[in-house]
Every structure is written in C-alpha cells, then in structure tokens.
C-alpha cells in the first residue's frame, strides 16, 4: 500500500463520541476488503481527484512490490472490541431514523466484510519493516563493535475518517501503535509528520532536521563568465569544468549503486564512532534496492494510469537517476512525484575525497541533469530534503525549513535521551 505523509483535516466534533477509548483496540487487518476500505477512507484527503478505481489499483500495485512483501507492510485499524457497543450518549444522539441510518453500532469482526462492519473502522495506519543500522559506543571508544544491523519500523498513512475526528481516536491509535512496535523487535521507528513538530513527540517520535532546497526547473545555473563578470568565482570554476554523466536505467546498475552506498554508510558510521566524544547514538535507514524500486513503481503507475504519458516514453525514459561513469560513489537518484509536481532527490552522493572544485562541478552536473529530467516530465521543480548547505550556496539559493513531512524518530525500548541521537542520511529515500 502506498505510504503517504500523515495528514489532518480539522473538523468540529460531530456530537458525542461513538465509542469509549477503553472499548477500542488496534488490530492487524488481514482481509483484503478491510485493507481496501482504509484506502477508500483516506481518499478524501489523498486521492487528489484520482477516481476510486485507479486509486485502489495504485495501492494494490504498490502492495505487490518487493518493498511491501513478506509481511514487511502491515495495515493496522483502530476498531471497537468485538463485544462492545456505542456509548449511550451516541445512541441518544442518533435516535431519529435519519441519524441512525448514518451512525455506527456494535463491535468489530476482523473477518466480516459487510458495510456495517467496515463502518466501524475509526482509524488506520501502516507500518513498514525496514533494515537499519545503529551505531553506539562509549565516549572515546575507537572499536567498530558498536555497529549493529537492526530492524526499523517506518510509520505511514496515519488517517482517521473526518466523521470520527476530534474524539481523541488518532492519539489513542498512535499510543497503541507504539506499544505494538515495542513488541516487533525493532530498534528504532520513524515517520513524517504534517501535524507539526510536537504532536508525535507525545507517543515516542521526536522531530528531526526538516529542511529542503527547492530548485526551479527553469532556473539558470551558473555558467562560465566573461572576464569582467561579477559571477561568483566558485560557481564559475565549477561550471567551467564539464562532467559527463550516464543514466541509471536498470535494476542491475541501481543495485550496484545502492549496495555500495550501504557499505559506505557503514564506513561513515564507523568514523563517527571513532570521533564520538559525547556518547551519541547514530541511526540510519539502510539503503536497499526495494525502496528505490517502490518509488519507481509509484511514479510508473501515476505516469501510466493517471497522467496518461505515452507508454513508450515511460518505458524508455523513466530512469532512476544519473551517475558519474565508472563510479559507484558519485550519483543522484530521484523520484518523479507527478502528484505534487516535484522531482524529488532520493539520494545524493559525491565522493567525499574529491576536491571542492571537483565536487562543485559534479554537483552542478547533477542539478542540471535533475532539471532536465524535471522539464522532460513537465515537473516545475527539483526538491532536495536536508540538502547540503554548500550546495545551496553554490546555487545561490536559501535552505528552507519546511513545516510538512517533518521527519520524526524514536528509539524503541530505550531510555536514552532522544536529544543524543543523530539520524544519518535523513533524506527522501527514507520516506514511504
């Protein structure tokens, strides 16, 4: 199922709450019709004029990917216990025939696909199991033993139908979900909040760095200046050094880059441990090919079935990104977000041992390639989450703080101070 950002539409309470909190439970949805009902529910916020049939088809398409398979994806529903009924206050408020027909009654049966039972879904949320790495050591410890491959849990599609809001059901759902995650053998969990930086802090997830570099597709990049030009010398030197690039167009090439990226991440974490003087814990979502294939599947479906691009063009031209030929540590991977008119940078890597001039030249080449890719698909901008300050300076752009899709992370079954946890590679590829 597609993993969207958490969303919220404010609504005034519509009378008494149907159910008491103590009468509600969070359960795994195993029946396809129940899972599909959660898609129908969240369409009111996320479909963006996509018809129900196409919206469901996209969710099924993404649920069939390797990223979502083997029980990695779980859909949870907040529902009343099987043996409970609605509150007396709610019964009285829906006593007239019209209201009763629109109301809800009774407990939830996890195997019943009747409309009456599906109406009892008060909220839903998805979790994805993803590989991660935790690096921790005592201050001054230079060993590599603090590096540990772990399981992490990504939370997405947090949603409650508008008619059930403002009764505290969303908060209860997240409280119950954190308890479920504590029993899933995960070391950390993360999500992307559209409810501000504080909402999810109450349940275990703490907001992290949330910035972006927005590069208009039409923006003119620095170029080699005339002798009397006042163009920034750094940008001018970089633009004067052309960098050849090649497309990352198939899964074999993609896997080589992503696997090497994961190896380099481990080296980065080892270095951080060796320089760790404050007993900081470092965590990262491990790059894996299934994640990038999921993003591609999402873009492919939208381009083919919603925006109706030519099928031949999609097959030939919808690539994963570009790289410097002959290298596996200098590349940019992207996602065509047709829904929100963005070309998102998923991962950006330039060899840290390169000179500043070489790095700048490669960065400009990457940006130019991304702009060309965006324009080819009629996307108005390139967006890079938590991009490097030096890149923004090179382009003469500001780094913007965003108040949407705020990355939030929490250690699971840990008493460690969250302020002493650093999220490495906090980039768009972690979103789902």
13, 166 Cβ separation under 8 angstroms: yes
Instruction: Tell me the C-alpha distance between 297 and 299, whole Å.
Output: 5
- Coil, helix or strand at residue 227: coil
- State pTM to two decimals: 0.91
- The C-alpha angle with vertex 322 and arms to 319 and 328, in degrees rounded to 5, equals 120
CA dihedral 214, 218, 219, 220 (to 10 degrees): 150
CA dihedral 389, 394, 396, 401 (to 10 degrees): -20
Instruction: Tell me the C-alpha distance between 137 and 321, whole Å.
Output: 36
Instruction: Tell me the C-alpha distance between 172 and 181, whole Å.
Output: 14
DSSP state of 5: P
| Averages of pLDDT over each 10 residues, the chain, 432 residues | 41 79 98 97 87 94 96 97 96 72 88 97 98 80 74 97 95 98 97 94 95 97 56 66 92 97 96 89 97 96 89 84 96 95 97 90 96 96 95 95 95 92 96 92
Identify which of 348, 24, 74, 290 has the alpha carbon closest to the alpha carbon of residue 186: 74
245, 325 Cβ separation under 8 angstroms: yes
Domains of the chain: 21-207 (3.40.630.30), 211-278+288-404 (3.40.630)
pLDDT at 3: 38
- Coil, helix or strand at residue 326: coil
Strands (E), 217-323: 246-248, 281-285, 321-323
Instruction: Tell me the C-alpha distance between 332 and 177, whole Å.
Output: 34
pLDDT at 144: 54
Rounded alpha-carbon distances, angstroms, from residue 52 to 164, 339, 426:
21, 15, 33
Handedness of CA 40, 42, 45, 50 (dihedral sign): negative
Handedness of CA 329, 351, 154, 314 (dihedral sign): negative
């Amino acid at each position: 199922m597609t993993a969207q950002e958490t969303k919220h539409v404010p609504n005034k309470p519509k009378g008494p709450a149907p159910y008491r909190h103590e009468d509600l439970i969070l359960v795994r949805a195993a029946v396809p019709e129940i899972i599909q009902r959660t898609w129908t529910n969240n369409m009111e916020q996320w479909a963006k004029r996509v018809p129900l049939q196409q919206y469901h088809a996209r969710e099924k398409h993404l649920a069939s990917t390797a990223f979502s398979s083997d029980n990695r994806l779980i859909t949870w529903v907040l529902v009343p216990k099987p043996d409970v009924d609605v509150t007396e206050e709610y019964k009285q408020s829906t006593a007239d025939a019209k209201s009763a027909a629109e109301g809800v009654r009774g407990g939830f049966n996890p195997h019943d696909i009747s409309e009456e039972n599906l109406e009892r879904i008060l909220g839903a949320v998805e979790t994805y199991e993803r590989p991660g790495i935790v690096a921790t050591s005592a201050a001054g410890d230079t060993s590599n033993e603090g590096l540990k491959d772990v399981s992490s849990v990504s939370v997405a599609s947090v949603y409650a139908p508008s008619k059930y809001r403002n009764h505290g059901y969303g908060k209860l759902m997240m409280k119950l979900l954190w308890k479920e995650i504590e029993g899933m053998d995960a070391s950390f969990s993360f999500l992307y909040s559209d409810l501000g930086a504080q909402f999810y802090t109450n349940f275990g997830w703490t907001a992290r760095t949330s910035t972006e570099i927005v590069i208009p597709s039409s923006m003119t990049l620095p170029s080699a200046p005339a002798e009397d030009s006042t163009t920034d010398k750094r940008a001018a030197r970089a633009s004067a050094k052309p960098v050849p690039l090649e497309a990352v167009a198939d899964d074999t090439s993609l896997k080589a880059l992503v696997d090497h990226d994961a190896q380099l991440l481990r080296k980065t974490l080892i270095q951080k441990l060796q320089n760790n003087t404050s007993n900081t814990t470092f965590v990262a979502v491990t790059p894996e090919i299934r994640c990038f294939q999921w993003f591609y599947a999402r873009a492919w479906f939208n381009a083919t079935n919603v925006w109706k691009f030519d099928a031949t063009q999609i097959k030939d031209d919808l690539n994963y990104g570009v790289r410097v030929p002959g290298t596996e540590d200098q590349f940019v991977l992207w996602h065509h977000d047709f829904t929100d008119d963005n070309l998102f940078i998923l991962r950006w890597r330039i060899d840290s041992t390169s000179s500043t001039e070489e790095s700048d030249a490669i960065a400009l080449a990457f940006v130019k390639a991304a702009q060309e890719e965006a324009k080819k698909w009629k996307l108005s901008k390139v967006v890079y989450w938590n991009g490097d300050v030096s890149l923004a300076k090179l382009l003469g752009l500001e780094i913007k703080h965003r108040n949407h899709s705020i990355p939030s992370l929490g250690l699971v079954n840990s008493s460690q101070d969250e302020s002493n946890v650093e999220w490495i590679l906090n980039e768009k590829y972690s979103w789902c």
